[in-house]
Amino acid sequence: MSGDDTERKRCPRRDPAGLFRPGHVVKICAPMVRYSKLAFRTLVRRYGCELCYTPMIVAADFVRSAKARDSEFTTNKGDNPLIVQFAAKEAQVLCDAARIVCPFANGIDLNCGCPQRWAMAEGYGACLINKPELVQDMVRHVRNQIDNPTFSVSIKIRIHEDLKRTVDLCKKAEATGVSWITVHGRNIEERHQPVHYDAIKVIKESVSIPIVANGDIKTLKDAENVHHLTGADGVMVARGLLANPAMFAGYEETPLRCIQDWVDIALEHGTPFTCFHHHLMYMMERITSKQEKRVFNVLSSTSAVLDYLNDHYGV
């Protein structure tokens, strides 16, 4: 875990559950493999994002390996409030991982929604929605062993074909002390099908804890519409923020100021070229022509990218 550990321990950590309040919709950056790392979290926080998640980290590897901890989890004083998302299938392993990050983060999230084959085969991710007692056990263990009362424990789920099973899962998680639940409104088999916002509404009406809606939110207007459709207390965005990190600030497309901010932040953080370049490809998707994309997307060095941005956009 790189960064100044002493500085991070001094950093006042807010209770993320306090973000959820009547009449307010919390704006959240989703956990994204390779993408929702410190530099990108720094960027979206400048443009109205209130809560950020790390990419999913396999808890067992994190606990076992110092190398995994150093490569998977980086934060700093301004990276706050922060939720660390873990893939886990054993209560004590999740507890051990939570204990390690507790001084540097505001909470953990248990991934119960990843539908990738490798995760399901290992007993992680979306297969956990079929094991509500195991989810309860993991949440209970963290609650019992982490003595910081403001440290949140949340879960992120997909829905069942039979929504009654999802409501049962959510009620059991609520009874065990989960802080909030993020609901991706698709089942395990669905990828690009329409999101079942009606299902999120039913879940919201069935529990008393905050519910976060996730799935196909690409603009601030989408976020507002989903809130009205579901009654959700927050919205979590993935691809919409990749395409426009300033969307929560109300921009319809990525402003040049945001591109400049990304360049500055990425260079300051020593972001690897591939990640630096891929973020720009996403951010510039809506503001570049096909011909421009053909040129920009094959650039192979930071200097070439900087020259292109300066020549074409004055960035």
Rg of the chain over Cα atoms, rounded to whole angstroms, equals: 19
Q: Does the annotation flag 85 for ligand binding?
A: yes
Say how many Å lie between the first and final Cα of the chain, rounded: 32
Residue 275: active-site member: no
Backbone angles phi, psi at 51, to 5 degrees: -145, 130
The SS3 assignment for 237 reads: strand
Measured CA to CA in angstroms, residue 269 lies from 11, 74, 216, 265 at distances of 19, 10, 30, 6
Give residue 44's identity as a one-letter amino acid code: V
Query: Do the annotations mark residue 121 as ligand-binding?
Result: no
CA 296/CA 280 separation, integer angstroms: 9
- 173 in a known ligand binding site: no
In whole angstroms, give the CA distance from residue 62 to residue 89. Answer: 13
Residue 206 and residue 230: Cα distance in Å, rounded? Answer: 12
- Would you say 193 and 186 are in contact if contact means Cβ atoms under 8 Å apart? yes
Write down the catalytic residue from 114, 127, 170, 258. Answer: 114
Q: Please indicate if the annotation marks 291 as binding a ligand.
A: no
- 32: annotated binding-site residue? yes
The answer to whether 169 and 132 have CB atoms below 8 angstroms apart is: yes
Q: Which residues are catalytic?
A: 114
Pick out the residues of the known binding site.
Answer: 31-33, 85, 184, 238-239
Pick out the residues of the known binding site for FMN.
Answer: 31-33, 85, 184, 238-239
